[in-house]
Amino acid sequence: MIFSCVIVLVVICDQVTKHLILQSFALHDSMELISGFFYLTYVRNTGAAFGIFSGQPDLWRQIFFISVAVIALIVIITLYRVYGKESGLYRLGLGLIAGGAIGNLIDRIRFGSVTDFLDFYIFSYNYPVFNVADSAITVGVGFLLVYTLFFEDREKSQMKLN
């Protein structure tokens, strides 16, 4: 249940926030929320993280990114079926990653690019603009790493004892 609910929640939050940005901002408009640190800035990302592959031909790029997202979702569902009963943290991580992948996949299918709007400056460094789906993927990967590094062996040992 955690897995499905997290996916739905992430997709809804992602798509609602993107819709609000599309309704409220023109492309490249920016609004300062925390001076010198956090802005809402509407950009379109035709590539992947940090704009990777954004210069590739449109058709190739679309086929590539949609294929990667579908393959990733198949892998996530397989991992969930095989290992999902082990840990709530594991299910939560997979759900966050799947929800983020679906949120960005919806944008790629609808617009041919992803709507990004969360814009942070750390000291003088402007971190690449991202969105809720990207955040969910990052946090989900973090949860899987924490589970793998700190809990996986302990839980498997406890299962063997029972």
Q: 125-126 and 38-45: which strand pairing?
A: unpaired
* Predicted structure pTM score: 0.88
| pLDDT bracket for residue 46 (50, 70, 90) | confident
* CB count in 10 Å sphere of residue 43: 21
| Mean pLDDT computed over every residue of the chain | 90
| pLDDT bracket for residue 92 (50, 70, 90) | very high
Please identify which residue in the block is written with the tokens 């969910």.
Answer: 136
Say which of 14, 107, 116, 119 is annotated catalytic: 116
Asked if residues 117 and 18 have their Cβ atoms less than 8 Å apart, the reply is: yes
Burial-class residue 134 by CB neighbours within 10 Å (0-12, 13-18, 19+). buried
Does 14 qualify as catalytic in the annotation?
no
Say which of 14, 107, 119, 134 is annotated catalytic: 134
Q: What tokens were used for 48?
A: 């992947």
Highest-confidence range of 34-38, 80-84, 146-150, by mean pLDDT? 34-38
Task: Tell whether the model's pLDDT for residue 59 goes beyond 60.
Answer: yes
- Percent of the chain whose pLDDT exceeds 90: 70
The number of folded domains in the chain is 1
In the prediction, which pLDDT does 61 show? 82
Q: What tokens were used for 4?
A: 């499905």
In the prediction, which pLDDT does 157 show? 55
Does 119 qualify as catalytic in the annotation?
no
Q: What's the domain range around 64?
A: 2-161
